[in-house]
Amino acid sequence: MRTPIVTRRAILGTGLALAASLPAIHVLARQAKQRFAIALHGGSLKSPEKFGAEEAKKIEASLGEALSLGLKLLEAGGASLDAVERVIRLLEDDPLFNAGRGAVFNSAGGHELDASIMDGKNLACGAVAAVRTVKNPISLARQVMEQTRHVLLVADGAEKFADERRVERVENSWFDTEKARAEWEAVKTATEGKQSSFHGGMDEHYGTVGCVALDSHGNLAAGTSTGGLTNKKYGRVGDSPIIGAGTYADNASCAVSCTGIGEEYIRRAVAYDLSARITYRKQPLKEAVAEVLQRLPPGAGGIIAVDARGTIVLDFSTGGMSRAAADASGYREVKLGR
């Protein structure tokens, strides 16, 4: 008996409807497998126990707030580059950290700020160094990346570019904090008449803030911002604005932000070295970070990194590192000590 034409059409229609639904099923499957991860730091610490309980709570609360901000953006499908910039802006505005508002004093009694940002999708990057009136150096660094053909602008040139881009400006004294001034005066007194040395220096807290992120589109990004080292020579630039030293991001490997004695990170191209170990030696992220830290002098600082799979590593050779991290699995951590 032949199947009536209407039945064949119904069967055909059902098949077409099922086929039409398959792409949606595939989309849902891809969404279920999407990953994102974020990590941030507020600087490495020689002795976390020297923080009073109240100050430690404030630092942890600030780190948690910054983490939640970045996490919310990534959960909504936002870009890792935006998450990195917004997190660092928040930390720059917080006087608890040596970046932006709480930047340390240089030897001349002022503040010079450095920052860099990098997009792992295309290796685009931008940085500024020794800026004096830019409220949020990380955002000016992104402007360098997106609005110029350059990577790094410094001092007066960076300030002029800030004029052109009409970014928010403040008086240099806006970055002052009583804590940073007290540390500067203590370092000046202790080193008076002596040749300055960054390694084994007086800094209890190697400031710097940084953030690395992997978004649900598979793109990595990294950024770092700092006021440098207390009583640093006027015009000194550390690793934070140096792409490949203190900051690096490549979708093929990882995103990195460093904190510590910048000169040591510059000498060893630490951020790029970490990326290269993953790219060329196929090292797991945790192993690569551990080996890179071992190449640095004892107590030089710390590293935060996330790879293309969403693996997060937070490691340091100092007594502690103020840090926070979270990912799509529900993992969340905020810590200062080991």
Which are the catalytic amino acids? 208
DSSP calls for 183-248: HHHHHHHHHTTS---STT-S-SEE--EEEEEE-TTS-EEEEEEE--STTPPTT---STTSBTTTEE
Output the CA torsion sign for 201, 205, 209, 213: positive
Distance CA 231, CA 56 (A): 24
Dihedral angle of Cα 25, 27, 29, 34, to the nearest 10 degrees: -170
**Are the beta carbons of 301 and 276 closer than 8 angstroms?**
no
